[in-house]
Structure 1
Amino acid sequence: MTDQGDPLARIAAALERLTPPPAPAIDWLAHPAYVWDGGGARAVEKIYAPALDLLQGIDQQKDVVTANVTRLAAGHAAHDMLLWGSRGMGKSALLRASIVAAQTLHPGRIALVQVAQDAMAGIAGLFATLGRIDRRFFVFIDDLGFEDGDGGGPRLLRSWLEGGVEARPGNVRLAVTSNRRAIVPRHASEQDDPLNPRDAVDDRLALADRFGLSIGFHNCNQDDYLAIIAGYAAHFGLTWEQADALEWSRRRGQRSGRVAWQYVTELAGRAGKAI
């Protein structure tokens, strides 16, 4: 009878053949952006963002954000940023566009790393990795908000921003977008608490105060809404009518950069164009 060898060795060899090869290590110098899922990262080959000059109605915010991102890319002192305020007014679009512009000015020197809120617990490991890379990074948490009773998330964020043993390294800055300046919910009853009535409010606002830049975005007025549409329409060679654009916003119950972009997409579809 032929000797088949050690059965355990044969089983181990078969399992090894079935196991997929390990994923290649991420090159943190090669790509413009990455996504962190809490346990690892994947590279993003292109950042999709509008050109900065197409972002209308947020000129002051644009100046502040682009200047700060460019400073970090150049290796200068830069702030963590909280971009807060109205939905659809270009908070995340402005950050992506600013990163793209800084990468054009300083090729290879800065990248964006997006982290989902449910992966925040793994950011300490991400920081440890990025701190060893000779490159600047903006770690981006989009649409951040904490539920009532969530004390751990805000404490982690405060620790990363300032003074904690796992604070982000010097080549990394945080950029957070939120619909609320305080990030965590606030209630009128906090003002009526007979025991230290300001403590709860101060604790929530202290989180926003940890960011060097806290930049508000507010609902656009009619003129800004129409200017946004005009800029996109001119860029893509689309014709449009003011009354039609205003009716589009009325049907959606708001005016914002997002609603303007949706209208431009509708215009392109009517014209049989891709944008």
Structure 2
Amino acid sequence: MTDLATDQTLATLLRIANALERIAPPARKAADLTLADAFVWHPAGSELAPVAKVNRVALSLLRGVDRVRDTLAENTERFAKGLPANNVLLWGARGMGKSSLVKSVHADTNRRLKGEGSQSGPLPLKLIEIHREDIESLPVLMGLLRPDAHRAIVFCDDLSFDGEDTSYKSLKAALDGGVEGRPGNVVFYATSNRRHLMPRDMMDNERSTAINPGEAIEEKVSLSDRFGLWLGFHKCSQDEYLAMIDGYVGHFGLAIAPETLRQEALEWATTRGSRSGRTAWQYIQDLAGRLGKPLEG
């Protein structure tokens, strides 16, 4: 081969190498969990985006959920201290504070651990949100977190599966079933309106069309078994709804006559056809806006 041919071959190989380098995915960066206490997972770039200010309310303002609040707080504190803890499924009525409770318990746990003031105490607990549509990337996220010294709650809001959706298999493997299993420094918290993470008609359809109805739904229903704690949320009573309203009014210093407040709050719930923590908060936003009072603190 002549020198010219050799040079041309080398030039061609160099162009191919450069082209492959351009289209190759970027090298996965190690997560820097010191940047914030909360992050959002972006699987496209294997990136954990820090959240400067988490959208949450004070734990004391969440009313009507005392039992599940205490159970979740206890599980979270044990985990933050390096003790065994369970994955948690918060399921039930819409608008009753499932996701709010996760975020508030996370903040309260860090506040209490910091208050203990031990130099050798646990590092701050991290909260990492993964979107429902990104569940298939959960094993990648788990692998990214596994070597980190911090402990983290991976949190998915409004988790459910429909029809032919098979991404639940990634979740099952990441939580318990895979070869590596769940990292010891990670727990998974999810909220859902469905106890078994799938609609009732989907389960009934599986039963009616399968040769073995029991086995047909067992694989999908067994997903909820990966959660050691099931915390149920139910519709609130009128008294609980009004207690939520009173708590917000006192916390934000909204000036309104008690009888007027009660009348307006009940009318607000009636026009929306439900009483819930979300309905209470929406009324408070309306009230604060009419009073010209920012909701801060």
CA RMSD of aligned residues (A): 2.3
The 10-residue stretch of structure 1 (63-72 or 106-115) with the greater mean CA deviation from structure 2:
106-115
Counterpart AA for 1:31: A
- Measured in 2, the distance between the counterparts of 1:90 and 1:68 equals 18
Q: Does 1:185 align with 2:199?
A: yes
Q: How far did 1:106 drift?
A: 2.5
Q: How far did 1:167 drift?
A: 2.7
Q: How far did 1:228 drift?
A: 0.6
Q: How far did 1:146 drift?
A: 1.1
- Measured in 2, the distance between the counterparts of 1:74 and 1:42 equals 25
Aligned to 2:11: none
The 10-residue stretch of structure 1 (164-173 or 209-218) with the greater mean CA deviation from structure 2:
164-173
Q: Does 1:162 align with 2:176?
A: yes
Q: 1:149 to 1:194 in 2, by over 3 A?
A: closer
Aligned to 2:212: 196
Counterpart AA for 1:272: G
Q: Write the deviation string for residues 96-118 of structure 1: whole angstroms up to 9, x where unpaired.
A: 00000111122442100001122
- Measured in 2, the distance between the counterparts of 1:90 and 1:65 equals 13
Q: How many residues align?
A: 256
Q: How far did 1:54 drift?
A: 0.6
- Measured in 1, the distance between the counterparts of 2:266 and 2:285 equals 15
Of 171, 174, 178 in structure 1, the residue corresponding to residue 185 of structure 2 is 171
- Measured in 2, the distance between the counterparts of 1:96 and 1:67 equals 14
Aligned to 1:258: 278
Q: How far did 1:75 drift?
A: 1.1
Aligned to 1:76: 83
Aligned to 1:207: 223
Aligned to 1:242: 262
Of 126, 140, 156 in structure 2, the residue corresponding to residue 125 of structure 1 is 140
Counterpart AA for 1:250: T
- TM-score, normalised to structure 1, is 0.86
Q: Write the deviation string for residues 166-212 of structure 1: whole angstroms up to 9, x where unpaired.
A: 53200000011111011122323444457222223433331111101
Q: Find the residue that maps to 1:165 and give its secondary structure.
A: coil
Q: How far did 1:30 drift?
A: 3.3
Of 245, 259, 263 in structure 2, the residue corresponding to residue 229 of structure 1 is 245
Q: Write the deviation string for residues 215-271 of structure 1: whole angstroms up to 9, x where unpaired.
A: 111111111111111111111112252121111011111111000000111111111
Q: Write the deviation string for residues 51-71 of structure 1: whole angstroms up to 9, x where unpaired.
A: 111100111110111111111
Contact 1:86 1:179 in 2 (8 A): yes
- Measured in 2, the distance between the counterparts of 1:201 and 1:103 equals 39
Q: Find the residue that maps to 2:147 and give its secondary structure.
A: coil
Q: How far did 1:23 drift?
A: 11
Aligned to 2:126: 111
Percent of residue pairs bearing the same amino acid type: 42
Of 146, 160, 165 in structure 2, the residue corresponding to residue 150 of structure 1 is 165
Contact 2:210 2:216 in 1 (8 A): no
Aligned to 2:97: 90
- Measured in 2, the distance between the counterparts of 1:246 and 1:199 equals 47
* Correspondence 1:9-48 to 2 at 5 A: 26-38=31-43, 39-48=46-55
Counterpart AA for 1:176: A
- Measured in 1, the distance between the counterparts of 2:190 and 2:244 equals 24
Q: Find the residue that maps to 2:251 and give its secondary structure.
A: helix
Is there any run of 5+ residues in structure 2 with no aligned partner, and where? 1-26, 115-122
